[in-house]
Protein backbone atom coordinates (compact mmCIF):
# COMPACT_ATOMS: atom_id res chain seq x y z
CA UNK A 1 0.00 0.00 0.00
CA UNK A 2 1.51 3.32 -1.08
CA UNK A 3 1.56 5.91 1.70
CA UNK A 4 0.55 9.54 1.20
CA UNK A 5 4.13 10.66 1.88
CA UNK A 6 5.54 8.28 -0.76
CA UNK A 7 2.98 9.47 -3.29
CA UNK A 8 3.69 13.16 -2.68
CA UNK A 9 7.42 12.55 -3.13
CA UNK A 10 7.01 11.09 -6.62
CA UNK A 11 4.19 13.31 -7.91
CA UNK A 12 6.45 15.92 -9.62
CA UNK A 13 8.03 13.21 -11.78
CA UNK A 14 4.68 11.66 -12.71
CA UNK A 15 3.27 15.08 -13.59
CA UNK A 16 6.26 15.83 -15.83
CA UNK A 17 5.84 12.50 -17.64
CA UNK A 18 2.10 12.97 -18.11
CA UNK A 19 2.54 16.50 -19.44
CA UNK A 20 5.19 15.39 -21.90
CA UNK A 21 2.79 12.73 -23.22
CA UNK A 22 -0.17 15.08 -23.59
CA UNK A 23 1.56 18.38 -24.35
CA UNK A 24 -0.62 20.16 -21.80
CA UNK A 25 -0.38 21.06 -18.12
CA UNK A 26 -4.12 20.64 -17.57
CA UNK A 27 -4.43 17.34 -19.46
CA UNK A 28 -1.29 15.96 -17.87
CA UNK A 29 -2.40 16.77 -14.33
CA UNK A 30 -5.85 15.35 -15.02
CA UNK A 31 -4.19 12.17 -16.24
CA UNK A 32 -2.18 11.87 -13.00
CA UNK A 33 -5.36 12.35 -10.98
CA UNK A 34 -6.98 9.48 -12.90
CA UNK A 35 -3.94 7.28 -12.33
CA UNK A 36 -3.60 7.66 -8.55
CA UNK A 37 -6.64 5.62 -7.41
CA UNK A 38 -5.62 2.49 -9.33
CA UNK A 39 -1.87 2.05 -8.87
CA UNK A 40 -0.46 -1.45 -9.47
CA UNK A 41 0.56 -3.00 -6.16
CA UNK A 42 3.55 -4.94 -7.50
CA UNK A 43 5.71 -1.88 -8.29
CA UNK A 44 7.39 0.82 -6.18
CA UNK A 45 5.35 4.07 -5.95
CA UNK A 46 7.25 5.99 -8.66
CA UNK A 47 7.19 3.12 -11.15
CA UNK A 48 3.58 2.36 -10.26
CA UNK A 49 2.49 5.89 -11.18
CA UNK A 50 4.43 5.75 -14.43
CA UNK A 51 2.86 2.37 -15.19
CA UNK A 52 -0.71 3.52 -14.58
CA UNK A 53 -0.21 6.66 -16.69
CA UNK A 54 1.24 4.49 -19.43
CA UNK A 55 -1.72 2.13 -19.32
CA UNK A 56 -4.18 5.00 -19.53
CA UNK A 57 -2.48 6.35 -22.66
CA UNK A 58 -1.08 3.31 -24.45
CA UNK A 59 -3.65 3.63 -27.24
CA UNK A 60 -2.17 7.01 -28.23
CA UNK A 61 -0.91 7.43 -31.78
CA UNK A 62 2.81 6.73 -31.47
CA UNK A 63 5.11 9.06 -33.40
CA UNK A 64 2.84 8.78 -36.41
CA UNK A 65 3.73 5.14 -36.98
CA UNK A 66 5.31 2.14 -35.31
CA UNK A 67 4.06 -0.07 -32.51
CA UNK A 68 2.34 1.21 -29.35
CA UNK A 69 4.39 2.29 -26.31
CA UNK A 70 7.41 3.50 -28.28
CA UNK A 71 6.76 7.12 -27.31
CA UNK A 72 6.25 6.16 -23.67
CA UNK A 73 9.43 4.11 -23.48
CA UNK A 74 11.43 6.86 -25.15
CA UNK A 75 10.22 9.46 -22.66
CA UNK A 76 10.75 7.15 -19.70
CA UNK A 77 14.36 6.37 -20.62
CA UNK A 78 15.33 9.94 -21.59
CA UNK A 79 13.12 12.52 -19.89
CA UNK A 80 12.59 10.49 -16.72
CA UNK A 81 16.02 8.80 -16.79
CA UNK A 82 14.51 5.39 -16.03
CA UNK A 83 16.62 2.33 -16.83
CA UNK A 84 15.51 0.26 -19.81
CA UNK A 85 14.81 -2.66 -17.46
CA UNK A 86 12.48 -0.58 -15.29
CA UNK A 87 10.87 1.04 -18.34
CA UNK A 88 10.11 -2.45 -19.64
CA UNK A 89 8.48 -3.34 -16.30
CA UNK A 90 6.41 -0.16 -16.45
CA UNK A 91 5.22 -0.97 -19.97
CA UNK A 92 4.65 -4.66 -19.27
CA UNK A 93 7.19 -5.80 -21.87
CA UNK A 94 10.34 -7.88 -21.75
CA UNK A 95 13.55 -5.88 -22.01
CA UNK A 96 14.40 -7.00 -25.56
CA UNK A 97 10.99 -5.93 -26.87
CA UNK A 98 11.29 -2.61 -25.05
CA UNK A 99 14.70 -2.00 -26.60
CA UNK A 100 13.27 -2.60 -30.10
CA UNK A 101 10.45 -0.14 -29.57
CA UNK A 102 12.82 2.52 -28.21
CA UNK A 103 14.99 2.10 -31.30
CA UNK A 104 11.94 2.48 -33.57
CA UNK A 105 10.83 5.61 -31.74
CA UNK A 106 14.30 7.15 -31.97
CA UNK A 107 14.34 6.52 -35.70
CA UNK A 108 10.99 8.32 -36.01
CA UNK A 109 12.38 11.29 -34.08
CA UNK A 110 15.32 11.55 -36.48
CA UNK A 111 12.90 11.63 -39.42
CA UNK A 112 10.77 14.38 -37.85
CA UNK A 113 9.87 17.53 -39.77
CA UNK A 114 11.96 20.63 -39.08
CA UNK A 115 10.63 23.81 -37.50
CA UNK A 116 11.82 27.34 -36.71
CA UNK A 117 13.27 27.65 -33.20
CA UNK A 118 13.74 30.75 -31.05
CA UNK A 119 16.41 30.30 -28.35
CA UNK A 120 16.21 32.41 -25.19
CA UNK A 121 19.54 32.10 -23.34
CA UNK A 122 21.77 34.77 -21.78
CA UNK A 123 25.02 32.75 -21.64
CA UNK A 124 26.76 33.11 -25.06
CA UNK A 125 28.59 29.77 -24.92
CA UNK A 126 25.47 27.85 -23.92
CA UNK A 127 23.46 29.71 -26.58
CA UNK A 128 25.92 28.68 -29.30
CA UNK A 129 25.89 25.08 -28.07
CA UNK A 130 22.09 25.11 -28.21
CA UNK A 131 22.18 26.55 -31.73
CA UNK A 132 24.44 23.73 -32.94
CA UNK A 133 22.39 21.05 -31.20
CA UNK A 134 19.09 22.42 -32.54
CA UNK A 135 20.49 22.63 -36.05
CA UNK A 136 21.87 19.13 -35.64
CA UNK A 137 18.30 17.98 -34.96
CA UNK A 138 17.32 19.38 -38.36
CA UNK A 139 15.63 22.56 -37.12
CA UNK A 140 16.26 26.19 -38.11
CA UNK A 141 17.26 28.78 -35.52
CA UNK A 142 15.48 32.07 -36.25
CA UNK A 143 17.14 33.98 -33.43
CA UNK A 144 18.96 33.93 -30.10
CA UNK A 145 17.74 36.32 -27.39
CA UNK A 146 19.75 37.13 -24.29
CA UNK A 147 17.08 39.28 -22.60
CA UNK A 148 13.34 39.24 -22.06
CA UNK A 149 12.84 42.32 -24.24
CA UNK A 150 14.93 40.90 -27.08
CA UNK A 151 13.03 37.61 -26.93
CA UNK A 152 9.68 39.37 -27.30
CA UNK A 153 11.01 41.47 -30.19
CA UNK A 154 12.45 38.49 -32.09
CA UNK A 155 9.31 36.42 -31.59
CA UNK A 156 7.16 39.27 -32.88
CA UNK A 157 9.38 39.93 -35.90
CA UNK A 158 10.29 36.39 -36.93
CA UNK A 159 7.78 34.07 -35.30
CA UNK A 160 8.71 30.58 -34.14
CA UNK A 161 7.47 27.02 -34.36
CA UNK A 162 9.17 26.22 -31.07
CA UNK A 163 10.66 28.26 -28.22
CA UNK A 164 13.62 26.94 -26.20
CA UNK A 165 13.96 29.11 -23.10
CA UNK A 166 16.29 29.29 -20.12
CA UNK A 167 14.57 30.22 -16.86
CA UNK A 168 17.13 32.65 -15.46
CA UNK A 169 18.31 35.41 -17.81
CA UNK A 170 20.35 37.21 -15.15
CA UNK A 171 20.00 40.98 -15.50
CA UNK A 172 18.11 40.45 -18.73
CA UNK A 173 14.96 39.36 -16.96
CA UNK A 174 13.06 36.11 -16.54
CA UNK A 175 12.59 33.43 -19.18
CA UNK A 176 9.15 32.42 -17.96
CA UNK A 177 7.92 36.03 -18.07
CA UNK A 178 9.40 36.45 -21.55
CA UNK A 179 7.49 33.39 -22.76
CA UNK A 180 4.26 34.59 -21.19
CA UNK A 181 4.56 37.87 -23.09
CA UNK A 182 5.42 36.07 -26.34
CA UNK A 183 2.47 33.70 -26.09
CA UNK A 184 0.09 36.66 -25.98
CA UNK A 185 0.67 37.06 -29.73
CA UNK A 186 2.58 33.96 -30.91
CA UNK A 187 1.27 30.39 -30.67
CA UNK A 188 4.16 27.94 -30.21
CA UNK A 189 5.14 25.07 -27.90
CA UNK A 190 7.80 25.91 -25.31
CA UNK A 191 10.60 23.90 -23.74
CA UNK A 192 12.07 25.40 -20.57
CA UNK A 193 15.66 24.54 -19.70
CA UNK A 194 16.83 24.47 -16.09
CA UNK A 195 19.19 22.61 -13.79
CA UNK A 196 16.35 22.15 -11.30
CA UNK A 197 13.20 21.05 -13.19
CA UNK A 198 11.40 19.84 -10.07
CA UNK A 199 11.26 23.44 -8.80
CA UNK A 200 8.88 24.27 -11.67
CA UNK A 201 6.46 21.46 -10.79
CA UNK A 202 5.03 22.68 -7.51
CA UNK A 203 1.31 22.75 -8.45
CA UNK A 204 1.30 26.50 -7.76
CA UNK A 205 0.04 28.62 -10.65
CA UNK A 206 0.65 28.07 -14.35
CA UNK A 207 3.50 25.68 -15.07
CA UNK A 208 5.30 24.62 -18.26
CA UNK A 209 4.36 21.41 -20.05
CA UNK A 210 7.96 20.71 -21.13
CA UNK A 211 10.94 21.07 -18.79
CA UNK A 212 14.40 19.84 -19.80
CA UNK A 213 17.18 19.33 -17.28
CA UNK A 214 20.65 20.86 -17.75
CA UNK A 215 23.02 19.49 -18.90
CA UNK A 216 21.51 17.45 -21.73
CA UNK A 217 22.73 15.53 -24.75
CA UNK A 218 21.73 15.79 -28.45
CA UNK A 219 19.45 12.75 -28.32
CA UNK A 220 17.51 14.15 -25.37
CA UNK A 221 17.11 17.51 -27.12
CA UNK A 222 15.91 15.81 -30.31
CA UNK A 223 13.28 13.87 -28.39
CA UNK A 224 12.12 16.95 -26.50
CA UNK A 225 11.78 19.06 -29.62
CA UNK A 226 9.81 16.35 -31.42
CA UNK A 227 7.55 15.77 -28.44
CA UNK A 228 6.91 19.47 -27.91
CA UNK A 229 6.01 19.95 -31.57
CA UNK A 230 3.76 16.89 -31.85
CA UNK A 231 2.34 16.07 -28.41
CA UNK A 232 -0.46 18.59 -28.51
CA UNK A 233 -1.78 17.04 -31.73
CA UNK A 234 -1.84 13.45 -30.47
CA UNK A 235 -5.36 12.53 -29.29
CA UNK A 236 -6.09 10.73 -26.04
CA UNK A 237 -8.90 8.20 -26.24
For residues 64 and 66, what is the distance between their CA atoms, to the nearest angstrom? Answer: 7
161-189 tens-digit pLDDT? 999 999 888 888 888 889 989 999 988 88
Number of domains in the chain: 2
pLDDT over 60 at 156, yes or no: yes
For residues 28 and 134, what is the distance between their CA atoms, to the nearest angstrom? Answer: 26
Reported as a pLDDT band with limits 50, 70 and 90, residue 66 is low
For residues 219 and 5, what is the distance between their CA atoms, to the nearest angstrom? Answer: 34
| CATH code at position 96 | 1.20.140.160
* Mean of pLDDT over the chain: 84
pTM of the model: 0.68
Domain C-terminal end among 67, 88, 110: 110
Do 156 and 176 sit in the same domain of this protein? yes
Residue 13, domain extent: 4-110
For 75-111, give the DSSP string.
Answer: HHHTTS---HHHHHHHHT--HHHHHHHHHHHHHHHHT
Q: Tell me which DSSP letter residue 38 carries.
A: G
What's the pLDDT score for residue 26?
A: 85
| CATH code at position 122 | 3.40.50.2300
190-222 tens-digit pLDDT? 898 877 666 566 555 556 678 887 777 777 788
What's the pLDDT score for residue 236?
A: 28
Which residues contact residue 10 at a Cβ distance below 8 angstroms, ignoring those fewer than 6 apart? Answer: 45, 46, 49
Domain C-terminal end among 110, 126, 158: 110
Amino acid sequence: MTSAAELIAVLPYARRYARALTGSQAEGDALVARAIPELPADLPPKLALYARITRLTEDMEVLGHGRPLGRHLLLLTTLEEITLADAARIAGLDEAEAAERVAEARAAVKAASATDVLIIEDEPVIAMDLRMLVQGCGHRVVGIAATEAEAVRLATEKGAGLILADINLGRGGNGIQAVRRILETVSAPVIFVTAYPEQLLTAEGVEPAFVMRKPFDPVTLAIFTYQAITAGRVPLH
